Amino acid sequence: MSKKFISERIAKKLSRAGVCSRRLAEKMILDRRIRVDGIVIDTPATLVNDKSIIAVDRKEIASPDRERLWRLHKARGVLSTNNDPKGRPTLFQNLPGELPRVMLVGRLDFNSEGLILLTNNGELARKLELPETGWTRRYRVRVHGELKMSKLENLEKGITIDGIRYGPITVKLERKQNT
């Protein structure tokens, strides 16, 4: 029985191999830096498979790594982004150098801390982020000031913010501290 070779777009293959992002791959293609089976390609619509020999700047790329997922504690005062034009610290600046190219699964606010996931597979990241996958997300929040239980109860019906409808949120008050 022969093995089937599934085709995928070149930019996706380059991203999965850890070469660059899909956007950068598309730019590199337009700059005529990518070859497939020895031929310079000029369109991001080019399809490749496991037998395709892909080279960037005449250097053959390695096969994509297996799909992996890492967990990381994000500290307060660190951005969940690759880089920041304002020069604030980002989560990616402190990652170990031996990690392959990774992407975030979701985000945490600048002043939030907690568990965040990283993966080397964009499709997996997207799947984990989508609400329809049904993953339960738990957050522990400290509120400063007066907390109105009626506001929390409204969250259980779902809310709309800036025209975007968010599903129900279950809230449990762990403790109230008087100051």
Would you please indicate which residues are annotated as catalytic (active-site) residues?
109
Are the CB atoms for 110 and 77 separated by under 8 Å?
Answer: yes
Main-chain phi, psi angles of 75, to 5 degrees: -85, 160
Helix (H, G, I), strand (E, B) or coil at 50: coil
Q: How many CA atoms lie within 13 A of 150 on its CB side?
A: 0
Cβ burial 6-20 (10 Å sphere, 16+ → b, else e)? eeebbbbbbbbbebb
